[in-house]
Each structure stands twice: as structure tokens, then as C-alpha cells.
Amino acid sequence: MTTRTIGCDTTDGLSRAVRRIARDHALDPGVRGRLVLSVAAVAEPALSAAGHTSLSWTFQCEDDDRSGLLTLALGLDGPVALPSAEVAAGLPLPADAVTEREVVWRLSAAPAPDAAEADVPGAAADDDAALVEEELRAVVARTDALTAEHRRLKDELAETNSGVLALYVQLDERDAQLRKAHGQTLRELEDALRPAPLEVEGLELAVHYAPAGTDAPTGGDLYDWFVLPDGTVHITVVDALGHGVTSTRSALNVTHAVRTLALEGHHLQSIVARTDEILLPFDRSVMATVLLARIDPATGELWVANGSHPPALLLRGDGTARYLEARGRGIGFPMPGSDRLLTEKMAPGDLLLLYTDGLTESRRDPVEGEKRLIEAAYEHLHAPIEEIPGAIADDMHTVILHPDDTLALAVRVRS
């Protein structure tokens, strides 16, 4: 292992020497070009200041004598200081070490031919331009390879993104289909729990129900109506806390309990409190408002009991309207039960409207909603009974600030 050293006073001469050494040791042209640029960049400040540089190189063979380690050291003489380790690490070919006197590069290389060892690297070389061109071609080839790789990766990424986007679209469509199918199944189940309008001589009955959202067609708004053994018609309207299947179950429990108590002959005013007593041991989470009405089709006699529910609206054929206020507290409320039993008498052509708060509170103002409800009800007072609940709901929901399940039942005494 022999160390050779030459002095260089110009950047061009230093670059030619480094290029010749790198060529003789079979360095890749791309690596060779980076090494030349790095050595020149370090030496330039010293040479511009009329300084002097020295270039030393050593080759140490490996065991197979076909490869080894080329160590090239650049020394600077003069007032210019050596670059810092950070600057040296940022060169086109980062330096491996910066000592007090030298900047050092170590590269895997091949041994130089004997003729090259005898040559003087600093001397002018006829093929220097060819070496520079070879380095440029290597850089261009490397650039082209990187560009092609970048284009390939970009195309793959675009194809992947397109596939991912298509997958997301498919998943979204499938989710929409599942939500629709799920909602349809629940709606059919809930429709099965909602009894059809009764056919009762002397009365006309109709119902309208709309969920808060199409993807959640079940809710806590439920009703029940049936004819008692004495010929009177019993109507139950329930609004259980919450939305979805859980609230439907709660409302169903309430309507079943009320039906059982009514058929057993319990007094209408006592049914709200008794329902709470029955359900409390089984489910303490149930909270529901309840409105109970009973009508005698033969006489038009009307009885109303209430548990925290919006009041029924009675519209007379003579143009007057009144909310039937019967105070009380609902299922799951403190001191549940109806405080009194309200009695009215309906005449032919009179319309009774029972509903849940989703009908009047869509604009978040229940007082204003009750005023609009009277206007909407009178607008459709003489329409076919099966159209009245839905038409009133449409008029009430021209603006919806607070979506909620909506239930409306209409009962009219036949003229």
C-alpha cells in the first residue's frame, strides 16, 4: 500500500487529477463526477485566495486483489479554513472525515493498472473531455432512470388511488343499500305494530306517521286504538324517549300495558299511573309521555287523560277550537299519573286531533307550533279523513329546524 501525493494550484488541474485517479480505479462515472465536484468545491476557496492544495491517495487491496478501498485526502494550505463536518456531509459526494488538515473520502474501488500507477495524474489528459462526457452521460442516465421510476410510481399511485376511490364508492353504495334494506325491514316491522284505522259506525279515523330520518324509520312514537266491550273506542298515543328500536320497544311496552289495563276495566284516569307501576320493576329506563282518549260513537262523549303529553286539539264544526288540557305526568316521571279526567261532547262534523311533539315543535317553538296547528287543521277540516293527518303534517313541516318522529291521528264524528 503506497501513498502518493501531488500539489495542485488550480481547480482545473485538481479536477483532472481526481478524474484520472477515479478512472484508473474504475469508479462508476456517476460517482466519479460527484467526487470531482466535491473535491473542487472544497478546494475552490483556498485556490481563489492564492493558496495551495495537496492531493493524496492510497489504495488498499482486499484479499482477492480485485477490489479494495481507495482513500483520497485533500489538504489545504493558506488562510482558508477547512469546511466543517456538516458542510462536508452536504457535498455531492459527502466526505467521510474532516481532520485538522485534510478532508477525506473513502470509496470501494478496483486496483489501478501498473501503467496508471506510474502516470502523473495531474498532467493534462487527452481524454479528459471524454471522461467528462462519460460522467454527464451517467448523470443523464441516472436522471432518466429516476424519472422513469418516478413516473412508474406515480402511475401506480394513481391506479391505486383510483382503485381505492372505486372501493370507497362501492362501500358507500353498499352501505346505502344496507341502510335502505335495514330501514325497510324495520319500517315493515313497525308498520306491523301499528294497527290499521278502525271501522266504527259513527266515527271516521285516520293516521299519519313519519320517522325523523329515512335511515332510522323506527322511533318512540306509537299508538293503539281498539273497541272496548261497551262499544267505546279507546285511543292511546305514546312518545317514548329517544329514537330507534330501543324507543320503539319502550313505546310498545307502554301500549301493551295500557291495552291490558283498559280491557280489564280500569278507570281511564288511573291507567297512566298503573302502567308506570307495572313497567317500573321490569325496566327503570322507560320514559314516555302518554295521551289516552275514549270516545262513545253513539253519543259523542269524549274522555281524555294525560301524562306529560301535548294536548289533544278539538275543532268544532262552528269554527271554534280548543286544546284539551289535562295535567299529568308520564311513565318514568316523578309522581306519574293523570291529575284529572277531562270530559267533552263531540258533535257531528267535529274533529279530534291527537299527535306527538314532532308535529308542533319542528321550528323549536311549541307555542307558535300550536297556533299553526289550529290553522292547518281548519284548512283541512272538511277533507276526506284519510287525507287530513298527512296534509296537516305537510303544512306544519314546510320548515324543519328540529327533525323528530311525527305521529298524527284524526277522529271525526260522522255528520
* Per-residue pLDDT tens over the stretch 137-178: 888 888 888 899 999 999 999 989 988 988 998 988 888 888
pLDDT of residue 45: 84
Rounded percentage of the chain residues whose pLDDT exceeds 90: 55
Q: In CATH, what class is 194-413?
A: alpha beta
pLDDT above 70: residue 413 = yes
pLDDT of residue 123: 45
Distances in whole angstroms, Cα of residue 193 to Cα of each of 248, 251, 252, 291: 10, 11, 8, 18
Are the beta carbons of 236 and 255 closer than 8 angstroms?
Answer: yes
Round to whole Å and give the CA distance between 250 and 198. Answer: 24
Q: Where are the domains of the chain?
A: 3-125, 194-413
Locate 170 and state its grid cell.
Answer: 362501492
For 333-362, what is each residue's pLDDT tens digit?
A: 999 999 999 999 999 999 999 999 989 887
Are the beta carbons of 255 and 223 closer than 8 angstroms?
Answer: yes
Q: Which of 128-132, 267-271, 367-371, 393-397 has the lowest mean pLDDT?
A: 128-132
pLDDT of residue 118: 47
pLDDT above 90: residue 381 = yes
pLDDT of residue 339: 97
DSSP state of 277: H
Round to whole Å and give the CA distance between 28 and 32. Answer: 6
Of 53 and 212, which is predicted with more confidence? 53
The cell 496508471 sits on which residue?
116
Round to whole Å and give the CA distance between 303 and 342. Answer: 6
Round to whole Å and give the CA distance between 279 and 274. Answer: 9
pLDDT of residue 176: 84
For 185-199, what is each residue's pLDDT tens digit?
A: 766 776 677 888 999
pTM over 0.75: no
Phi-psi region of 412 (alpha: psi -120 to 50; beta: other; left: phi over 0): beta
The cell 279507546 sits on which residue?
234
For 62-112, what is each residue's pLDDT tens digit?
A: 877 788 999 999 988 766 677 887 888 889 999 988 887 789 999 999 998
The DSSP code sequence of 85-112 is HHHHHTSSS--SEE-SSEEEEEEEE-PP
pLDDT above 90: residue 316 = yes
pLDDT of residue 194: 82
Are the beta carbons of 96 and 105 closer than 8 angstroms?
Answer: yes
Round to whole Å and give the CA distance between 304 and 324. Answer: 8
For 111-126, what is each residue's pLDDT tens digit?
A: 988 655 545 555 455 5
Round to whole Å and give the CA distance between 376 and 125. Answer: 103
Q: How big is the chain by its Cα radius of gyration, in Å?
A: 47
Tell me how crowded residue 357 is: count the other CB atoms within 10 A of its CB: 19
pLDDT of residue 282: 86
The average pLDDT across 205-209 equals: 95
